[in-house]
Structure 1
Amino acid sequence: MRLKDKVIIVTGSTMGIGRAIAKKAASEGAKVIIHGLEEDLGALVVSELGRENARLHIEDLAIEGAPQRLVDLALESFGRLDSVVNNAAIVAASDIHTTDKAFLNKLMEVNTYAPLFLIKSALPHLIESHGAVLNIGSINAWSGEHNLLAYSISKGAIMTMTRNLGDSLFREYGVRVNQINPGWVLTEKEIERKREHGLADSWYKNLSKIYAPAGRIIWPEEIAAASIHWLADESGPISGQVVDLEQFPMIGRNIPKDSSTIPHK
């Protein structure tokens, strides 16, 4: 078991990628702090993992003191803290015309500021355990779709933060900081967004290979499987790295001439 007895906070873990990471981490022996906004879904995850392996914290990370309360719960429940997975994020459409200061601030607070301050709150305990941080970004960090402007800005910022802290925290304290940039993943929220766009719930079953060369998009469990390596000691001294998990290269991709706008990711 690659995470035996490690204690890990996974934000945004009541559903989607975060839920898959939490469940995979527990299957590898970890104790997990489940976090999100959906109390019923979070309680279900804790029930699946067992109270001996998981605790639940429901709170908006933008609220003052929320990061410290997550850390405190980990310490009170399991006596230590080994890793933080910053997965919680707001995915919201906007472009240059619809992005105002308040909207951008809202996304930055949850997607960028909250991960930074959770790392800061957790740092004394991560130093003690020689722990690790895994930030869950997005391939939109590289430039982003035209209608994901604010979201892409927030993910570009966290990618820079990962590289900065991955160097400084590892050099000074031995705490590793790495990042995964998922591509298009089939989460509950993605199904909900497509439903709001008027698509049937089966939209993902017949995707063009322009968008999904494999004939399907990525499952949350596949992102979770990759995450375990960065949380486990097997990843060694590697820090400050950003890994894209998508079906095609984000830089240098050969876009077919008949392609149109890439769908939301």
Structure 2
Amino acid sequence: MSRLQNKVIIVTGSVTGIGKAIAKRCVAEGAKVIIHGLEQDLGEQTVVELGAENATLVIKDLADEAAPQLLVDAAVKAFGKLDAVVNNAAQVGTGNIQTTDGAWFRRMLEINCVVPYLIIRAALPHLSATHGSIINIGSVNAYSGEPNLMPYSVSKGALMTLTRNLGDTLMRENGVRVNQINPGWVLTENEAKRKREHGLREDWYADLPKVYAPAGRILWPDEIAACAAWLLADECGPISGQVFDLEQHPFIGRNPPKDASTIPSK
């Protein structure tokens, strides 16, 4: 039997990238999933890939106050229960103290920290019943962040504190585990597109400097999904309130490149 057999899992932001890879891995491990995103065509394509018997699609902007409960209700209606939530969807964008106004900062905090909290809150009665699991997808930028990723980095730092706080509280009071994955630099569709828009060649990721990629390549979404599958599975045991940094070098304390302006986005 697969280790996620019959588990019902919400994965936000799962029509592309890391979220889609996690949803695919969950189904491969025996789970049923709620696919969520903003692009109807990509969502429908994802459901076809996973099989309609394994996946239900919800298209909804997470800024909508009704979104958290809508996701939870969709899972229970489609599959009868809810075992886990993966808060993967995020607002991504640049900004520093000169370019970030209050509206942009608040948007980052709302989508990247407040919304995951509200989804957890809406899901908690069902997760308590199944002694479920929550994964928040953060970023290694949570510890400080690149110069032009200030509001994004702060929002992921806030998410990390939320994970540690609820990871303790919900485990003791509800039997629900809460953990976080902080990916490093991952080759997603959106990351590839952003780099092409910045003027890099089509295969820019083929020969990256060792300072960024000691292994000669950056991470793949499937490698993030492998960690997520373990955290969602019962074999993870009582582990809760932990943050897992998935990067190929020690992110904190590492000697930066001489030209810090060349540091890539994550």
Q: TM-score scaled to structure 2, two decimals?
A: 0.97
Q: Closer, same or farther in 2 for the Cα pair 1:93/1:226, shift >3 Å?
A: same
- Counterpart CA distance in 2 for 1:85 and 1:25 is 11
**3-state DSSP of counterpart to 1:177:** strand
Q: Does 1:44 align with 2:45?
A: yes
Q: Is the 8 A contact 1:9 1:83 kept in 2?
A: yes
2:262 match: secondary structure: coil
The answer to whether structure 1 residue 130 and structure 2 residue 163 are counterparts is no
Structure 1 residues 69 and 93 mapped into 2: Cα distance closer, same or farther (>3 Å)?
A: same
SS in 1 for 2:178: strand
Matched, 1:95 2:91: no
User: Which residues of 2 match residues 128-167 of structure 1 at below 5 A?
Assistant: 128-167=129-168
SS at match of 1:61: coil
In structure 1, the residue matched to 2:66 is 65
Q: Please state how far the C-alpha of 1:254 moved relative to its aligned partner.
A: 3.5
Q: What's the CA shift string for 1:203-227, capped at 9, x where partnerless?
A: 1111000100011000000100111
1:235 is matched by which residue type in structure 2?
C
**3-state secondary structure, aligned to 1:32:** strand
**C-alpha deviation, 1:195, in angstroms:** 1.6
C-alpha distance in 2, partners of 1:144/1:21?
Answer: 24
Matching residue of 1:175: 176
5 Å-filtered alignment, 1:1-265, equals 1-255=2-256, 261-265=262-266
Aligned residues of 1:83 and 1:126 also touching (Cα < 8 A): yes
TM-superposed deviation, 1:196:
1.6
Q: 1:63 to 1:258 in 2, by over 3 A?
A: closer
One-letter identity of the residue aligned with 1:222: E
Structure-1 separation of matches of 2:50 and 2:214: 34
8 A Cα contact 1:210 1:259, kept in partner = no
Equivalent AA in structure 2 for residue 121 of structure 1: A
Q: In structure 1, the residue corresponding to 2:44 is in which secondary structure?
A: helix
Residues 107 and 258 of structure 1: is their aligned pair in 2 closer, same or farther, counting only changes over 3 Å?
closer
Deviation per CA, 1:196-253: give whole Å up to 9, x if none. Answer: 2111221111100010001100000010011101000011011000010001112232
What letter corresponds to residue 31 of structure 2 in structure 1?
A
Per the normalisation by structure 1, the TM-score is 0.98
Runs of 4+ with deviation above 3 angstroms? 254-261
Q: CA shift at 1:259, angstroms?
A: 6.6
Q: What whole-Å deviation, never above 9, does each CA across 1:57-101 have from its counterpart, x for those lacking one? A: 001111011010000000000000000000000110111101110
Matched positions, count: 265
Which deviations, in whole Å up to 9, do the C-alpha atoms of 1:29-84 show, x marking residues without a partner? 00000000111111111001111100000011110110100000000000000000
Is 1:126–1:132's contact at 8 Å kept on the other side of the alignment?
A: yes
RMSD: 1.1
What is the deviation of 1:171? 0.7
CA distance in 2, matches of 1:258, 1:17: 29
Is residue 31–residue 53 contact of structure 1 (8 Å, CA) maintained in 2? yes
In structure 2, relative to structure 1, the CA distance for the partners of 1:162 and 1:207 (3 Å cut) is same
Aligned mates of 1:144, 1:260 — CA distance in 2 = 13
- 2:221 and 2:127 map into 1 onto residues whose CA distance is 26
Q: Which amino acid aligns with 1:230?
A: L
Specify every segment of 5 or more residues in structure 2 that has no aligned partner in the other structure, as ranges.
none
Is the partner of 2:208 in helix, strand or coil? coil
What is the aligned-residue identity percentage? Answer: 66
